[in-house]
Amino acid sequence: MPITLLQRISALAIVLTAVLIFDRAASPARAQNTGETPNVVMIMDASRSMWGQINKVNKIVSARNAVNAVAKRHEGKIDLGLVVYGHREATGCKDIQIVFSPERRKASTFSKKVNTIKPKGSTPIAASLIKAAEAAKYREKPANLVLIADGLDNCKADPCATASELKRQGKDLTIHTIAFDAKAKAKLGKLSCIAENGGGTFSLASNEAELKAGVKRAVEAAMAPKMPKIAAAPKPQLQARQNRQVQQPAPAPPPQQAMPKSDPLTTGTVGGTAARETASPPAPPAPEPVKQPKGALSQSRGSVPVTLAARTVEGGAIIKSGIVWWIYKNGKNKDGKYQLVESLRDPTPTAALPPGSYRVAATYGKVNLIKDINVQQGAAVRETFVLNAGGLRLGASTASGETIPPNSVRYDVFADETESDQHGNRKVIVRDAKPGVVLRLNAGAYHVVSTYGDANAIVRADVTVEPGRLTDAVVNHSAAKVTLKLVNQPGGEALANTQWNILTPGGDVVKESAGALPTHILAAGNYSVLAKHQGKNYTREFAIEPGEVKQIEVVIQ
């Protein structure tokens, strides 16, 4: 029996005027973020395996050459830092050094230090990611980490989970990964999850040329102009209000929530009864005249008024809140970036622009639409963006139909399988989405992974988001809560200082924990539990039925 019980189920949609943004015909080009100097930290593997050779060249030599090439190519253009692990001790998971904090420095200074690095010890990848992120001040400003590794973490840590947590905590952190070895490509493919969870690029390199190309690609991605990230979820204090709106019609949502003014008439249940789809709502009213926003470009002599607005679908209502506009000069500077002219948070702003060519980007949740416009003297411009997108709101229930508390379930939303990488990994759209929060997404197919509790209660669902509609999907978990207890006699007091392993019938570990009364959520099925106390082991088999709350006593005999 596998560790996790997965259910393949389909998502259910409801009609509702929704949100969001993407014009399939729009240019894929991206715009500049804030104009800040790119903040990049190289993480260099100097574990003893880096003495290995590829084409009669030590891997550490190739790594030095790749890192030095970055320092030379981008001298004075980026804040470049360096973290090295495994180069000072024969063994030791704390052998991590911040060689250079990220700042602009001469390539010769950088290279002089890099060329002294000699492999010696272990491979603490997860801990190195943390060290590098801290060196880059990832909680305070955008940061990019570029990891070069020729092996997996051997310090009993999970670099994939570490990357996910750093990504969640960072202001705008991206982690790129290059796996470097000629013979262990299949094994090193496991490092791809670091890049996936960190939102960066992943490359497999089997020689120095491929390594240099992978590093170059990662650093160029770090330097590429990109759209600022705008949070799709409302603030926590708004979630309760949002959930109440599901129960009955309500007034227009708060400013942070630019979803429809009415609520779903029918809620679909993933893995349960079939969904019903209501008739489309009446045609939206005509848009109101646009207003001059606070902070819009001041009128100047020779300037032209440019009015911007957006709709969720063709013929839909003008979006009244939650949209941010970015106006750039249409043309890159010498440094390869677009010059930001103005950013506006009014949903229907009017900006005063001198004649010329501009690139305008609208961001709304997880989607953005970019259009190029020409401003000519004496001709006012009015541009309406059509956002071909919809909303997704997730919920979860037990097999008995009870709503699972929001703090007990989380969701990861992935693109459909057509957007998988070379290893079959889907593109991550949203991590740790919360129940009841409307996610603004491009119209299309998505794959949702719902995790209930901290063990193996996981359900996967394919969900379709339709343009101009809100999809309400409720994931049905066949799972139950179990509490473990080691006692000297039936009904006795739980013994402290107990280590627990929950196992499948095949012996695979489902969950490890410690304490007198640990509680976990388990998928329905058969299990055995191993309790370790004062050097002795005690076991018991048990079964979990959906919705059945159990206390499992293991009696010392």
- In the chain, what is the greatest distance between 2 CA atoms, to the nearest angstrom? 92
Distance CA 222, CA 243 (A): 38
Strand partners, 538: 531
* 481 CB neighbour count, 10 Å cutoff: 19
pLDDT for res 538:
93
Tokens 């990109």 sit at which residue? Answer: 226
pLDDT for res 76:
85
Distance CA 149, CA 159 (A): 12
pLDDT for res 389:
81
Q: Which domains are assigned to the chain?
A: 8-22+231-277+389-476 (2.60.40), 39-223 (3.40.50.410), 479-555 (2.60.40.10)
Mean pLDDT by 10 residues, the chain (557 residues): 35 29 30 57 93 90 93 90 92 91 91 92 93 93 93 90 91 91 79 89 89 89 56 30 30 34 28 28 33 42 87 86 89 82 90 93 85 91 89 89 88 80 76 88 89 91 87 90 93 92 90 92 93 93 89 90
pLDDT for res 235:
31
* 30 CB neighbour count, 10 Å cutoff: 15
Tokens 């622009």 sit at which residue? Answer: 353
Alpha-carbon distances, residue 235 vs 150, 240, 241, 247 (angstroms): 41, 10, 11, 20
pLDDT for res 233:
31
What is the secondary structure of 356-419 as a DSSP string? EEEEEEEEETTEEEEEEEEEBTTB-EEEEEE--EEEEEEEEEETTSPBPPGGGEEEEEEE-GGG
Distance CA 325, CA 343 (A): 6
pTM of the model: 0.47
The identity of residue 81, as a single letter, is G
User: Pick from 184, 182, 224, 180: which is nearest to 200 by CA?
Assistant: 224
- Where would I find the beta strands (DSSP E) of 120-172? 143-149
pLDDT for res 421:
65
Distance CA 107, CA 119 (A): 22
Element (H, E) at 239: helix 239-247
Separation of first and last alpha carbons in the chain: 29
User: Pick from 164, 199, 239, 230: which is nearest to 434 by CA?
Assistant: 239
* 272 CB neighbour count, 10 Å cutoff: 15
* 92 CB neighbour count, 10 Å cutoff: 15
222: left (phi over 0), alpha (psi -120 to 50) or beta: alpha
The identity of residue 386, as a single letter, is V
Helix/strand/coil for 335: coil
- For 538, counting Cβ atoms within 10 Å of its Cβ (0-12 exposed, 13-18 middle, 19+ buried), the class is middle
pLDDT for res 27:
28
